[in-house]
Structure 1
Amino acid sequence: MTTAERADVCVVGAGPAGVVAALRAARLGARTALITRDAVGGMAATDGPVPVRVLAQAARLRREARHLSRYGIDVGDTALDYGRLLTRVREVVEDVAEHSVMRTELQDAGVILHANAGTARFTGPHTIEAEHGIRVQADKVIICAGGTHRPLPVPGADLAGSHRDAWNLTTVPESLLVIGAGATGAQVASVFTELGSRVMLFEAGPRILATEDEDVSRVMAASFRASGMDVRQDFGRIDRFEKAPAGVRMIFTKEGTADGVEATMAVVAIGWLADTAGLNLAAAGVATDGRGYVQVDEHLRTTAPHVFAAGDITGRLMLVPQAVQDGYLAATNAVLDHEATLTPPASPIGSFTDPEYAQVGLTEAQARQDHDVVVAMVPFSVAARPIIDGRPTGFCKLVVDRGTHRILGCHVVGERAVEIVQVGAVAVAAAMPVEQLVRIPLSFPTYSNVLGRAAVDAARRLDVPGFWDE
């Protein structure tokens, strides 16, 4: 038996939550060990936002190339060399791994790093063992093992891949069937449509991007269809997958009538599960909730008092910025025995589809449940910068409380939507009345100026004194 290494804190998983948790614990003076199954950075760096954004950038560049002639630039037809694109993906992933995942900071802080250690598991309340021979005994443990895709429980489901399989393709498929039109599914569908696949996007619910504002779902569906994508909402129930000459066939039923579609490849993107396989949580007394996520309280403490959890494995907002904040909070409470809580006043969310979409705060429907609201919605087609760039599709929507004038929500579809919403997030987090946002002279012509125009429209609808006196 390998002699156990001693640590005050052992962090399991080196994605954004785990890296920040380990850094925070070490900087608070704790002897800290960090164990990761694979490389430092987790899915975000190797199988998530980083490689996906490279593919999305290639898709964006192809789109821009088609518009060059409108600006007097003639370069002829473009051709995609997917092999060279994948080389670029690998270069970026390696560059990020070297410069952006904080390996140097971990070393400088004195974190004992065990990368590529294989799957880690509890062998007792305070002991963690990894399959490649690492064994750590720690007073406190922080679990940051991340999430994994949710499989479909239907016959033949093994014939369908996950988003990971889509990003790891070596050629662009002639046709692609994407099941599930949440953030991941929409992004897969959007990227491969632009890269040249004939894409079918199937959503069992009544609308794609169901967690977004209804106007966002409506405009995104219309934009996808305009790009040539086959978007089907409320399509029915999947019965099974079968092998087909072209690749795979999905059989589904709606209102008693069976139907089927074929594609070179099928990708299932119906949600995320906690990646708890192999952790042997029971050995430490750590329970999961009804959805299978590690159960934590508001301080990120699990059902075992000495074990904390952070990031995707808790099932909270499964995004990089939130994971970073979780990691910081969990380590602070673990090392200092504090009971700090973190309730972010605003969590901006967005996706690099074409067009982009993003949001912060309440949707219009959510806001109307508890507030009397004013809604201002400005189309991109009346704003200077989108017109200049030839990107007039989209809108900026503000949801404002009529009584307090506070901005409750901001929703954007269109070019630079993710960036625009970062500005909106500051206003929401600051509980800013809309007239205060109006007073900020956003630069012209910029995409953020669309947000300023929406704020002006909201203030006008509220009849704010001093702005609209005749």
Structure 2
Amino acid sequence: MADAHYDAIVIGTSQGGRFLPVELAKAGQKVALVERGLLGGVCVNTGCTPTKTMVASARLAYQARRGAEYGVRTGPVSVDLAVVRERKRAMVAGARDNYAGRLALDGLELIEGEAHFTGPKTVEIALTNGGTREISAPVIIIDAGTRPKPLAIAGDVPVLDSTSIMELDELPEHLVVLGGGYIGLEFGQMFRRFGSEVTIVQSAARVMMAEDDDVSDEVVTILRDDGITVLTSATPVRVEPAGGGRVRLAVRTDDGEEQIEGSHLLAAIGRVPNTEALAPEAAGIRLDERGFIEVDEYLETSVPGVYAMGDIKGGPAFTHLSNDDYRILHAILIDHEKRSTRDRIVPYAVFIDPQLGRAGLTERAARAQGRAIRVAKLPMSAVIRALEIGETRGFMKVVVDADTGQILGCAVIGSEGGEIMTMIQIAMLGKLTHTAMADAIFTHPLLAEGLNSLFAMFDA
């Protein structure tokens, strides 16, 4: 028998799970919120908030070094990583404390400990302060998130991940980054701008494999322009100490084996779901081949009444999708309305500099679907505002349906690329055609004004 019965149990306080238990309690339900670690999940503690805070410091260092290009004289620029870290910690603590204050609600109980299923609707919790509790509810929502994937190659050396690297208080002399995905590229450019030598090692033929080739190529050009060494088709085979606290990485390339020596090694090779400790098999919850929880379009698992939200269910791992998962479950569990994940446009930004903003279909995906499409691409060097501010790297690219003129997707690499992408996403939501965007009046001189020129290319 369970020690206590609730109307709903929420496991984890990642982005969606931060809000749903509060709203369930406000709706009059008795809710148990279970958290084994820090309140707020990955986004607040080790993801969006801290990394983008540090990216801001890196960009300021980069801009300061460019002062002479703008006629601004500055002295030598250096970065105090300990101060950067403290600013980051303060930002995280503020966000976490702000969330903790929301939990003081009648009907909402925070239980600190690690949960695992003992049946379809029962959960046992190993309490942080000792002992166990077993609780039950007809509705259970899993929002336990993911963690960095550990490095699995031969050798025994210290390895940083996306969490531990943010706790360094001294700059690496030479940071070797394993992984050419979004996380690896953001950290690689960040530490290059802080002052480290950086080498990025990608086993695949391109970085950011989900993107179109021209997008990936442009990103590599930008990184190399920043002084970063980028190796692709380079498979790590072993790592070993190199003396003096350094590490030596051996990679296999088309030209044979190559040795890379650095002071620090960062593994940014993906993330894995926090499902093992949950014992989902005890509840009959199905997982996919990678260990993520399988859900339907209503976020329900194979067990009726048990839902999963956020990164633990697989798919694109973005905070704003977790927020939309929250909206869907709010509609289903509180408003008693049907709302689903079907056909939602997935936007995202990669916070390299200049930013990459993406929404909808890539050109490759559209062609793979057999769609009749047209593609337009405008270099940022053709945008007046970009010239004025000296930020001309990158391009805007849009994919439209050849028959209807509807916008299917876009990629924007450029200053405030994420913000410009969002304008295109709004146009997609509003079903605007490329002609409507070409004829719209956009304020001069803004970066968004380039959208006139971009969409006018379809009528040229």
Asked if these proteins are the same fold (TM beyond 0.5), I'd say: yes
Question: Contact conserved, 2:385 with 2:446, CA < 8 A, in 1?
Answer: yes
Cα separation, partners in 2 of 1:424 and 1:157, compared to 1, 3 Å: farther
Q: 1:119 aligns with which of 114, 120, 145?
A: 114
Per-residue CA deviation, residues 214-241 of structure 1 (Å, 9 max, x unaligned), is 2210111011111110001112x32211
Q: How does 1:287-366 map to 2 (within 5 A)?
A: 287-334=286-333, 340-366=339-365
Once superposed, what is the RMSD of the aligned Cα atoms? Answer: 2.1
Question: Contact conserved, 2:113 with 2:125, CA < 8 A, in 1?
Answer: no
Query: How many angstroms apart in 2 are the aligned matches of 1:329 and 1:106?
Result: 21
Matched residue, 2:420: 420
Question: Contact conserved, 1:308 with 1:334, CA < 8 A, in 2?
Answer: no
Question: Contact conserved, 1:306 with 1:334, CA < 8 A, in 2?
Answer: no
Q: How does 1:38-187 map to 2 (within 5 A)?
A: 38-99=37-98, 101=99, 103-108=100-105, 110-114=107-111, 117-125=112-120, 126-132=122-128, 133=131, 135=133, 136-156=135-155, 159-187=158-186
Unmatched tracts of structure 1, length 5 or more: 462-470
Cα separation, partners in 2 of 1:11 and 1:331, compared to 1, 3 Å: farther
Q: 2:242 aligns with which of 216, 241, 244?
A: 244
Unmatched tracts of structure 2, length 5 or more: none
Note if 1:399 corresponds to 2:399.
yes
Q: How does 1:221-232 map to 2 (within 5 A)?
A: 221-232=220-231
Cα separation, partners in 2 of 1:251 and 1:70, compared to 1, 3 Å: closer
Q: TM-score, normalised by structure 1?
A: 0.91
1:339, distance to aligned residue in structure 2 (A)? 5.3
Q: State which drifts further: 80-89 or 3-12.
A: 3-12
Question: Contact conserved, 1:17 with 1:327, CA < 8 A, in 2?
Answer: yes
Per-residue CA deviation, residues 333-384 of structure 1 (Å, 9 max, x unaligned), is 3567765322253111111112211211111122223222221111111211
Q: Which secondary structure state, in structure 1, belongs to the residue aligned with residue 84 of structure 2?
A: helix
Cα separation, partners in 2 of 1:228 and 1:22, compared to 1, 3 Å: same
Q: State which drifts further: 383-392 or 153-162.
A: 153-162
Question: Contact conserved, 1:142 with 1:331, CA < 8 A, in 2?
Answer: no
Cα separation, partners in 2 of 1:413 and 1:248, compared to 1, 3 Å: same
Q: State which drifts further: 330-339 or 146-155.
A: 330-339
Q: Which secondary structure state, in structure 2, belongs to the residue aligned with residue 118 of structure 1?
A: strand
Per-residue CA deviation, residues 382-423 of structure 1 (Å, 9 max, x unaligned), is 211111111111111111111100111111111111111111
Q: TM-score, normalised by structure 2?
A: 0.93
Per-residue CA deviation, residues 84-116 of structure 1 (Å, 9 max, x unaligned), is 1111111111222233x4x444435753223xx
Note if 1:378 corresponds to 2:373.
no
Query: How many angstroms apart in 2 are the aligned matches of 1:374 and 1:204?
Result: 32
How many corresponding residue pairs?
454
Query: How many angstroms apart in 2 are the aligned matches of 1:8 and 1:262?
Result: 56
Matched residue, 2:201: 202
Matched residue, 1:464: none
Q: Which secondary structure state, in structure 2, belongs to the residue aligned with residue 163 of structure 1?
A: coil
1:153, distance to aligned residue in structure 2 (A)? 2.7
Query: How many angstroms apart in 2 are the aligned matches of 1:292 and 1:187?
Result: 26
Question: Contact conserved, 1:296 with 1:314, CA < 8 A, in 2?
Answer: yes
The one-letter code matched in structure 1 to 2:420 is: I
1:440, distance to aligned residue in structure 2 (A)? 2.8
Cα separation, partners in 2 of 1:238 and 1:66, compared to 1, 3 Å: closer
Q: Which secondary structure state, in structure 1, belongs to the residue aligned with residue 276 of structure 2?
A: coil
Per-residue CA deviation, residues 54-95 of structure 1 (Å, 9 max, x unaligned), is 110001101111233333432322221111111111111122
Cα separation, partners in 2 of 1:74 and 1:22, compared to 1, 3 Å: same
Cα separation, partners in 2 of 1:158 and 1:17, compared to 1, 3 Å: farther
Query: How many angstroms apart in 1 are the aligned matches of 2:3 and 2:331?
Result: 25
Question: Contact conserved, 2:10 with 2:33, CA < 8 A, in 1?
Answer: yes
Query: How many angstroms apart in 1 are the aligned matches of 2:156 and 2:457?
Result: 49
1:323, distance to aligned residue in structure 2 (A)? 0.8
Question: Contact conserved, 1:25 with 1:332, CA < 8 A, in 2?
Answer: no
Query: How many angstroms apart in 2 are the aligned matches of 1:149 and 1:359?
Result: 23
1:184, distance to aligned residue in structure 2 (A)? 0.8
1:444, distance to aligned residue in structure 2 (A)? 1.6
Question: Contact conserved, 1:24 with 1:328, CA < 8 A, in 2?
Answer: no
